[in-house]
Amino acid sequence: MTVSPDPRTAELSERLNAVRTRLDAALEAAGRPAGSCALLVVTKFFPADDVRRLLSLGVREFGESREPEAGRKVAEVLSDWAPDDPADIPVFDMIGTVQSKKARSIARWARMVHSVDRPKVAEALGRAARTALDEGERTEPLGVLLQVSLDGDPQRGGLVEAGLEALADRICADDALRLRGLMVIAPLHGEPGHWMDETARIHSAFRERYPDAVELSAGMSGDMEIAVAAGSTCVRVGTAIMGERPLLSQ
């Protein structure tokens, strides 16, 4: 007898396959190698059971955006998922705005923080990651992406290009942190293609100065294809896989 998956798993499976197909097609259209852009599935506002369903479908990279929701969910998922193969251990990234007082908690569970845009947050994360390393709560430095603001809108977070270097130097000087690249959320106004061209230009200039900063986290459900064309190494996809988030979400 074959057991059919529960309806939610079937729905997630279908949407996940559609997004993987879109990502493969976008890479091919951009002349990029298959698999050269990671898919981070954004599970904010959705329960630990959905993360478990996604694990059963082969997803290993997740994005979360809020504490304490994220820390609790990660602990719950890891409490009953103990794979033998290290490649099956899921990783969780922090993609939302970081409050300094939450840094200690984030440093326990996050592989990488995509949204660092202030010295105060970088310092808090550095201290928190140092403690987590010393306490054996993590084995690797905390990865950091600097969030770039393309239009200078303070509401959306991020640093304008001229501010990147000072913060990047600070992060490089902290051995509990590791600068991995840049993150961008395209503004809602203007031409998406223009924003992505800007992103590609800024990342390329940044990499000349910081050669290890190879990651570019760009693209969400609605703009994956242009982000991949602009060189994204990680798309963050929520709605297209999980469905609509409850109201009040961002």
Ligand X SMILES: *Cc1c(COP(=O)(O)O)cnc(C)c1O
- Give residues in contact with ligand X (CB under 6 A): 42, 44, 65, 95-96, 185, 220-222, 236-240, 250
Q: How far is the CB of 175 from ligand X (least distance, A)?
A: 27
**Cα distance between the two ends of the chain:** 43
Taking the complex as a whole, how short is the minimal distance between the CB of residue 222 and ligand X, in angstroms?
A: 6
d(CA 151, CA 186): 9
For residues 145 and 85, the answer to whether their CB atoms sit within 8 Å is: no
Q: Which of 62, 158, 146, 148 is nearest to 110 (CA)?
A: 62
CB of 30 or CB of 227, closer to ligand X:
227
Which lies closer to ligand X via its Cβ, residue 44 or residue 73? 44
CB of 147 to ligand X, least distance (A): 8
Q: Find the Cα–Cα–Cα–Cα dihedral 219, 105, 134, 115, rounded to 10°.
A: 30
**CA atoms within a 13 Å half-sphere pointing along the CA-CB vector of 154:** 1
Q: How far is the CB of 139 from ligand X (least distance, A)?
A: 26
Q: Which is nearer to ligand X, 159 or 176 (CB)?
A: 159
At 154, give phi and psi (nearest 5°): -65, -25
Question: Which is nearest to 67 in space by CA: 39, 92, 41?
Answer: 92
Residue nearest to ligand X (CB): 238
The two three-digit tokens of residue 21, written as one number: 């197909």
DSSP state for residue 209 in the 8-state scheme: H
Closer to ligand X by Cβ: residue 96 or 231: 96
Q: Rounded to the nearest whole angstrom, what is the least distance from the CB of residue 183 to ligand X in the complex?
A: 8
- The structure tokens listed for 71 are 């820390």
Rank residues 18 and 134 by Cβ distance to ligand X and give the closer one: 18
Nearer to ligand X, 30 or 234 (CB): 234
Two tokens, residue 144 = 């950091």
What is the residue whose two structure tokens read 């294809």? 225
Measured CA to CA, the distance from residue 91 to residue 135 in angstroms comes to 19
Could you give the 3-state DSSP secondary structure of residue 64?
strand
Q: How far is the CB of 26 from ligand X (least distance, A)?
A: 14
Q: Which is nearer to ligand X, 111 or 130 (CB)?
A: 111
* Residue 136 beta carbon to ligand X: minimum distance, rounded to whole angstroms: 30
